[in-house]
A and B are shown apart, each in its own frame.
Chain A
Amino acid sequence: MRRISACVALIVVAMLTVLAGGLSAQVEPIRIGVYEPMTGAMAAGGQMTWEGILLAHEMTPEVLGRPIRLFLADNKSDPVESANAVAKLIDQDKVIAIIGSYGSSNSMAGGDVAEKAGIPMITDSATNPLVTEGKDYMFRACFIDPFQGEVMAKYAYGEGIRKVAILIDVAQDYSVGLANYFEATFKQLTGDARSVVAKVAYNTGDQDFSAQLTQVINSGAEALFVPGYFGDMALVAKQLRALGSKILLMGGDAIDAPELVIIGGEAAEGIVFSTFYSAEAPATPEAQKFVDAFKAKYGKTPNANGALGYDTYNILVDAIRRAGSDDPKAIRDALANTVDFPAVTGSTTIDESGNATKDAVLLRVEDGKFRYLTTIKP
């Protein structure tokens, strides 16, 4: 009797083992890495992107009949940490594709590592052209800075401004690049090489801009373009107004964060900037669905980074579906062939250099809110 029950027990154990083995083979997840600035100066941008990615993951949790597992690595708003984060995702977490990162300098450092390892990477919001240049495995879901610089220069010119000043963060590729494109277009529009009356610089982490702004005010500029990140812009606005200047302040997509008005307060009023998307003017039917789902999950309106995080995840999952496998090379090829993907931030087609062409949206700060001004087509 005892022998029989021992046999039964053995058989049960054996069956359970086979069953468990079968189950685990069935649920082997698809591993996707995400590296974003969750801490440091760009934390707001990274965290909003992550919210969008999480929402998209919740709505599409599997592909090819396998669950998708996300691995998040914090790049601490720093290029060196970005390279480390990507190396960790590839070596330790064995991811087959990577999303990220907010911040062009971060994406350039992280992209180098992924390119060498042959892992496809798609950045949500890094706009510097150099991010994808000369790289086979690097893509992006957003427009690039030559377009954005042109949009802002045309806006300034259209407002009757003929003399501008530029304040550049020399430690950020995004800032240096965007400043150059803006300057080139503005000089071309005015036909006057001296129409950029002051070009002053600062370094990431600086908080005192009083000397630079004194210089700007003294140069007689009618507007100041600051291609920096949201936290810097909020402090610039405060210090500029405290120095008694009322000139127009303009920025790029990197100031699209609630911190701009939370920190900038009244000084942020009237700032105009270009970005990827506005919840006030949804570009596609997909966009309305996204806004509703985002509000239901987080109880707030998404900004452009939330939308781009959501889009980037969906573009990548779509590519994996079309690739039909989790082979990094096949996913790369599928990403490169993305055509007319119905994204929240506008229909997305990835061109031969890995970039997306999209509309830009102009917003203005009014009564502490980002108000939609207009949409500009490429």
Chain B
Amino acid sequence: MTWAVFAQNLVNGLSLGSLYALVAIGYTMVYGILRLINFAHSNIFMLGAYMLFYADLMFRLPWWLSFVIAVIVTAIMGVIVERAAYRPLRQAPRISALISAIGVAYFIENLGLVVFGGRPKPFPVPAFFSKSYQLGSVYMANIAWVVPLLSGILLFGLMVLVYRTKVGLAMRAISHDMETSSLMSVDVDRIVAITFGVGSALAAAGGIMWGLKYPQINPLMGTVPGLKAFTAAVLGGIGSIPGAMIGGMLLGMLEIMLVASMPALSGFRDAFAFLVLIVILLARPSGLMGREYREKV
């Protein structure tokens, strides 16, 4: 591999990895606070992309306004999902909520097939994002730096929310012990709803960024990115927000570098991604940045 090719692949890897990271942050945040793997996250991701598609198509709004509206509408949908499918199971064993999450995921996916149709739709991409520049021998589209920047900003915002605000304090209290925090006058239902709202907004932002980079959306589009982002979150240590960022970057970079260095094996890229996950988990069961949690008996 020459230096120029390596540099190009570095840009490719950064751009893919930051997308994984963006989606992984949402997964890890909900898990960190509720100890619930929200399988519907990848479907909320899909809804976010469709909300922007329809906001743009039906109301012909300026792009940034469509973006804001799509994120807000998707966040509201996430809160509705929580209210309908998770809240009634708050006192039930954790496995019930997990099964409910899987059910919600299939429900949204199939609802999407009925409402949006199975044919892929072209995602509206403003010229700014797809414009690509040449730096030396390396080509880079604007989207390649917009996504890492946005991921970084959201990461920072999230850290501030969780560690510097009262809502964040309540979130951390709930993650520690839900019953005791409710005795300390923390409104558990409200905090959990906010958590889902923020998580879904992150998923929507991820779905929209994904659409900008790969401008073809369909109701099943969330499956593969969702799996990869979940892998990234586990890799980084699920529950840890910086861990999700690092896990996503690492996974994206590894995938690109595998294809680049061993093109004959490029069809095995997903197998490789999961192999890495297994190896890392064997060495560090709680992920790269994860803390050891001991279940209270």
Contact = CB atoms under 8 A, between A and B. Distances in A.
Contacts of A214: 5, 8-9, 12, 260
A242 B122 contact: no
Contacts of A206: 224, 269
A203 B16 contact: no
B214 interface: yes
Given A41-B120, A214-B260, A259-B120, 18 more contacts: A39-B113, A39-B220, A40-B118, A43-B120, A170-B267, A200-B263, A201-B264, A201-B267, A202-B266, A203-B267, A206-B269, A211-B13, A211-B259, A214-B12, A215-B5, A231-B216, A259-B216, A263-B120
9 contacts: A40-B218, A44-B119, A207-B216, A211-B9, A212-B266, A214-B8, A214-B12, A238-B215, A243-B132
Contacts, number: 108
A169 to B, nearest CB: 8
Contacts of A39: 113, 118, 219-220
Given A234-B216, A243-B139, A263-B122, A200 B260 contact: no
Interface residue tally on A, bucketed by range: 35 or more
B196 to A, nearest CB: 27
Contacts of B122: 259, 262-263, 265
B224 A205 contact: yes
B139 A242 contact: yes
Interface in B153-196: none
Contacts of B269: 202-203, 206
Contact of A202 (B120, B139, B215, B267): B267
Given A39-B219, A214-B8, A44 B120 contact: yes
B266 A201 contact: yes
A319 to B, nearest CB: 30
A356 interface: no
A235 interface: yes
Contact of B141 (A41, A198, A207, A242): A242
Interface of A: 38-41, 43-44, 47, 168, 170-171, 198-203, 205-208, 210-212, 214-215, 218, 231, 234-235, 238, 242-244, 259, 262-263, 265
B59 to A, nearest CB: 20
B12 A210 contact: yes
B259 A215 contact: yes
A51 to B, nearest CB: 12
A254 to B, nearest CB: 14
B15 interface: yes
A218 B5 contact: yes
A148 to B, nearest CB: 22
B130 A242 contact: yes
B242 to A, nearest CB: 24
A200 B214 CA distance: 20
Contact of A244 (B16, B132, B256): B132
B91 interface: no
B129 to A, nearest CB: 11
Contacts of B224: 205-207
Contacts of A168: 267
Interface in B107-123: 113, 117-120, 122
Contacts of A202: 266-267, 269
A244 B133 CA distance: 9
Given A40-B118, A244-B132, A212 B259 contact: yes
Contact of A210 (B16, B113, B119, B264): B16
A238 B267 contact: no
A211 B258 CA distance: 9
Interface in B136-161: 139, 141
A330 B9 CA distance: 59
B134 A244 contact: yes
Contacts of B13: 211
B118 A47 contact: yes
Nearest to B114: A39
Top 9 closest pairs, chain A to chain B, by CB: A39-B118, A170-B267, A211-B259, A201-B267, A43-B118, A210-B12, A207-B214, A244-B139, A211-B256
Contact of A211 (B117, B120, B260): B260
Contacts of A242: 130, 132, 139, 141
A163 to B, nearest CB: 16
A212 B113 contact: no
Interface string B223-265: 1100000000000000000000000000000011101100110
A40 B220 contact: yes
A320 B97 CA distance: 54
Contacts of A218: 2, 5
Given A40-B220, A201-B267, A208 B118 contact: no
Contact of B260 (A44, A47, A215): A215
Contacts of A263: 120, 122, 215-216
Nearest to A262: B122
A211 B215 CA distance: 18
A205 B215 CA distance: 14
Contacts of B263: 198-201, 212, 215
B11 to A, nearest CB: 8
Contacts of B256: 208, 210-211
A200 B224 CA distance: 20
Contacts of A259: 119-120, 122, 216
A80 to B, nearest CB: 15
Nearest to B215: A263
A179 to B, nearest CB: 12
B8 A243 contact: yes
A239 to B, nearest CB: 9
A258 to B, nearest CB: 9
A214 B16 CA distance: 14
Interface string B1-41: 01001001100110110000000000000000000000000
A368 to B, nearest CB: 12
A210 B270 contact: no
A276 B13 CA distance: 39
A197 B163 CA distance: 54
Nearest to A198: B263
Contacts of A212: 259, 263, 266
